[in-house]
Each structure stands twice: as C-alpha cells, then as structure tokens.
Amino acid sequence: MQSHGAQLIDGKALAQKIQAELAQQIQSLQAQYGRPPGLAVLMVGDNPASAAYVRGKEKACTNVGMASFGQHLPATTTQAELEQIIQALNHDERVDGILIQLPLPEHLDGVALLNQLDPDKDADGLHPVNLGRLVRSEPGLRSCTPAGVMELLKEYQIDPKGKHAVVIGRSILVGKPIALMLLEADATVAIAHSKTPDLASVIRNADIVVAAVGRPEMITANMVKPGAVVIDVGINRVTNAEGKSRLVGDVHFDSVKTVASAITPVPGGVGPMTVAMLLQNTVWSYIQRHQGVQQAP
C-alpha cells in the first residue's frame, strides 16, 4: 500500500469506535450510579457553523446514551446572564461536562466565562486549572482536539517517543496543548508560527508535523520530509471561481500524501475525534465525581 502514497489516518472510523465503547461503558455505569452522564453545550447567537457543530455534539450525546442539557441562547444574552447560567450548571448534580461553543458574539468575554466554569466540569479542557494540570503531567480534563490527535497516533501505532515533532500554530485551543502532550509522550517538540523565519526548513526536519494555523493548504510537499507523519488540524472553507465551496485543511493534501508515510484527511481526520474526546471527557468527569462521592468518609 505504501508505494501508492501515505496511509490514511481515519478519524471518523476511530471516533465511531470510541463512541461505541463509551455507549457500552455508560450503560453499565448508569446502572451503578443511577443516572447517565450529562453534558451541557452553551451556544449564544446563530453562527451557522457553530449551530452545525452543536447539533453534531448533541446528536453524539444521544447516540452514546448521555443526557444533554444544552442551551441555545439569543445573541443579545449578557455576560451576567451567562455567568448565572454557568453557575447553575456548576451546581447541577446531573451535569458532568459544560462546554461554551466558540466563537461568542463580540460583546461577550469568552475567557472570563471560561474561568467561571467548575474546572472539573470543563469538558473542553481549557480552564487554566486543567491547562496547569497538563503542564504538570497531572490527571485532568484534556483539551479535546489535541487529545483526539494523540488518540489517532496511538490507534495507528505511531509512537512520538524520540521523534522530532513540529507543531505549526500556538493557540491555546490546539497548538500549545498538543505541544505539551507530544512532549509528555517523549517527543522533541518545536512550535512554529507566523513569525517563524524560514518555516519550510523547520517543518522539513519533522518526523511528525501537526498543522494548526488556519491557513488553507499552506503546507506543501516540498516542505515535508519524506516519510513524515502529517496531522492536519486546520478546517478552512475555500470557494472556487464557480462559487462552489469546500473544506480544506492547512496541508495541501494531494501533494503531501505522495511524500508522507501517514496523513489525516480534511474532513474526516481530526474533526470527528474532537467530539469523541468531548464525550470521553464528560464520562471521565462523571466517573471521577461518583468515585469521589463513594470514597468520601
């Protein structure tokens, strides 16, 4: 197979496998704990892309037998109103995971809202406490997209140990947490970004490339070392001359797949894993909370 180009890393298939395992786990735990795990996705306004993502998350919730406490709020919702909703969910015994769907309308302070979350219910793993736990290699809720990337590497038996990994992008959502996770897995990690001089030469040294910059098809075959593993986290909508739009990643898939040893497609690569990890985080939090109750004197 290798002679025809890179092995395809199928995130959709792995996400389905994880969801099937979670559904079984939830069934047995629900009998033990007397309730299903609960996830609350908060969406403000009517961004069509966000609405599609939220629908996907809520459908996945139902599929695995999880209770959904999602709220779709008008764009005019104030910071104070949202903070009240978050506090109520923090105290709601039925809710194990809370997610604030980004982007939020301009007038809202997303960081301040995120900081209001109970860190142990932070389903997206973005609260400063959870990022701190990641830095210290302590157990905790991990950022969904990077955690999904690590699961894909594990599933395809790509061990980062001793490998040179280059992460392109330094966002708190993907770039920084994935760099920390690769470091934890004993890779030597470099983080590159828009201000990195001669980006191509930095990428060309990498055994594992993680692209998370949000620039359509910027990474081309001549930038990739032959045999490298390429993980494309980017999701960009591009429109051709006829006005037809399609989704592409940060990697020029057709050219890079001829030099890489393994590559994720867009769509169908990292994307589906994000939702699978969100569900996995919620179940983890559900188990922790019940064990905590059982272990308490």
Q: Is 170 annotated as a binding residue?
A: yes
Q: Which of 96, 101, 163, 225 is catalytic?
A: 101
**What's the CA gap between 11 and 26, in Å, rounded?**
22
Whether 124 is a known active-site residue: answer yes
Spatial neighbors of 10 by CB under 8 A, at least 6 apart, are: 265, 268, 269
DSSP, res 264: -
Q: Is 16 helix (H, G, I), strand (E, B) or coil?
A: helix
To the query of whether residue 154 is one of the catalytic residues in this protein, the response is no
Q: Is 235 annotated as a binding residue?
A: yes
Please give the Cα distance from 290 to 286 (Å, whole number): 6
Q: How far apart are CA 174 and CA 149, in angstroms?
A: 10
Tokens for 39?
């996830």
Can 57 be counted among the known catalytic residues? yes
Catalytic residue among 96, 120, 122, 124: 124
Burial of 102 (0-12, 13-18, 19+ CB in 10 A): middle
Q: Which residues pair with 232 in a beta bridge?
A: 211
Active site residues: 57, 101, 124
Q: Which residues are annotated as a binding site?
A: 169-171, 235
Write out the binding residues for NADP(+).
Answer: 169-171, 235
